Amino acid sequence: MKKKFLAALMCATLTVTTLAGCGGDSAKDGKNDIPTSQTGGNENTGDDSPENSGGSDSGIVIGFSQVGAESDWRTANTESMKSTFSEDKGYTLKFDDAQQKQENQIKAIRSFIEQDVKYIVLAPVTETGWDTVLKEVKDAGIPLIIVDRMVEVSDDSLYTAWVGSNFKLEGDKACAWLKAYADAQGVKELNIVDIQGTIGASAQIGRSQGLEEAVEANEGWTLLAQQSGEFTQAKGQEVMESFIKQYGDKINVVYCENDNEAFGAIDALTSAGYTVGTDLSKGEVLVMSFDSTNAGMTDVLSGKIVCNTECNPLHGPRVEEIIKALEAGNEVEKQQYVEEEIFAAGDEVTSITVGDDSFDVTTVTQEVIDGRAY
Ligand code: GZL
C-alpha cells in the first residue's frame, strides 16, 4: 500500500535537503563527475575495499553498495547519497561502485561486514541472487536498507527497510499517456520497439510489464521487438540501430526504459534519416523515456522525447530518515514508495488514469526544468 503522507513528507524533506546538492554533468556528454571507487580496485589506494568519502571512520559508519555509474539517474542518485551522508553531517560513507556486476556488490557487502559498519545500504543491480549474502549481513547484526530496485528474497526479515519507485506503475502511466496521446492524434496503429533496461532489474521488469500489458489491451498496438539497452546511451544506440535494420520505417514508437537509452536511440534514428518528434500523423517517430533527468527533460522541451515518466533518484534524504528513526529506536516502514510525476512535450493530454488513480501530466517548460531538484 502506498504511504502517501509519508512519501509526501519525505519529498518535502528531500526538496529542502538536496536542492543544494544536485548537479553532476550528464552522462549524455560522456562525463560523470562523481568520483567513485570500483570493486576490484579502489582508484586511490589500489586495494579492493570500498572508498571512504573522507578520512578515518567517524560518526555513523554506512557502507553503500551502488549499482554503477551507467546513467544520469545513477549519477544523481549517487550524488544524493554522498551529499546526505557527509562527514560534516556526522557520517562516514563507505561507497562502492559495482560497475553493474552483482558479484562486485556481494564482495563490497562482505567488506562492509568485515569493517563492522553500522548500516549497509544496497542498491541492487538485479532482484535475485541475494539470499546468501543478506543472511550474512543479518547474522552480523547489521541493519540493511534496500534502495531503488527491489530484492527477491525467501525471507523479508533479511532487510530492515526498502525505499524506491513503483516501476510497474511507471510503465502503466507511460502507456496510459501513449493511449490518450495516440487517440488525440487519431492514430490507432502503433508499432512499438522496447529498449529495455538491465534484464532482471526491478525497473526493467516493471516498465516492460506495463508496456506488454498495454499492447495486449489495445487493438492496433504491435510490440515489434524488445532488447536490453542496459540503461546506457551506447547500448541504447546500438539496439536502436539494430531495430532500424530489422523494422525500418514500420516503427512509430520507441519505448526507452531510461533517458540514456533514449539519447542513444535519438542519435541512431536521426543518423538514419528519421524524424524524431511528436506528430504520429506526419510520420514522426515518438521516443518515450523514463527518469526525467535534467538532460532528459531538456529533450522533452525540444520535442525529441515526447513523454518522460519520472523516476526520482534523490533517495539520500529518504534513507537518512530511515537511519535517524532506527537510531532513535523507532519502528520503520518495511516498504516506502516514492510519489512521481509524468511529463510531456505538449498539452494534448493533461491527465491520465491508471486503475482507480489519476495523475496530472505536466507540460515541460524551461521553468519546470529550472524548478526541479535533479
Ligand atoms: C530506476 C533505476 C534505473 C534508472 C536508470 O530506479 O534503477 O537504473 O531508470 C538507472 O537510469 O540506470
Taking a C-beta distance cutoff of 8 angstroms, is the pair 261, 195 a contact? yes
Taking a C-beta distance cutoff of 8 angstroms, is the pair 153, 128 a contact? no
- Predicted confidence (pLDDT) per residue in 12-60, tens digit: 433 333 333 333 456 674 433 344 455 533 333 334 556 764 457 889 9
CA of residue 204 to ligand 1 center, whole Å: 8
Q: Indicate if ligand 1 lies below 6 Å from the C-beta of 203.
A: yes
Res 57: pLDDT: 82
**What are the cell numbers at 316?**
539520500
Instruction: State which residues of the chain have pLDDT below 70.
Output: 1-27, 29-50, 52-55
State pTM to two decimals: 0.88
The separation between CA 94 and the C-alpha centre of its own chain, rounded to angstroms, equals 22
Q: Indicate if ligand 1 lies below 6 Å from the C-beta of 338.
A: no
Atom 2 of ligand 1, residue of closest alpha carbon: 203
CA of residue 201 to ligand 1 center, whole Å: 9
Q: Indicate if ligand 1 lies below 6 Å from the C-beta of 231.
A: yes
> Which residues, listed in sequence order, are joined to residue 146 by a DSSP beta bridge?
122, 162
Most informative mutation of 260, 291, 319, 374 for ligand 1 (most atoms within 8 A of CB):
291
Q: Indicate if ligand 1 lies below 6 Å from the C-beta of 211.
A: no
Most informative mutation of 34, 71, 230 for ligand 1 (most atoms within 8 A of CB):
71
CA of residue 329 to ligand 1 center, whole Å: 32
- Predicted confidence (pLDDT) per residue in 75-86, tens digit: 999 999 999 999
Res 43: pLDDT: 31
SS3 176: helix
Give all strands (DSSP E) within the chain, no chain letters: 51-52, 60-66, 91-97, 119-122, 144-147, 161-164, 190-196, 221-228, 253-256, 286-291, 307-310, 335-337, 342-344, 351-354, 357-363
Q: Indicate if ligand 1 lies below 6 Å from the C-beta of 292.
A: no
Give Dmax (Cα) for the chain.
63
CA of residue 35 to ligand 1 center, whole Å: 19
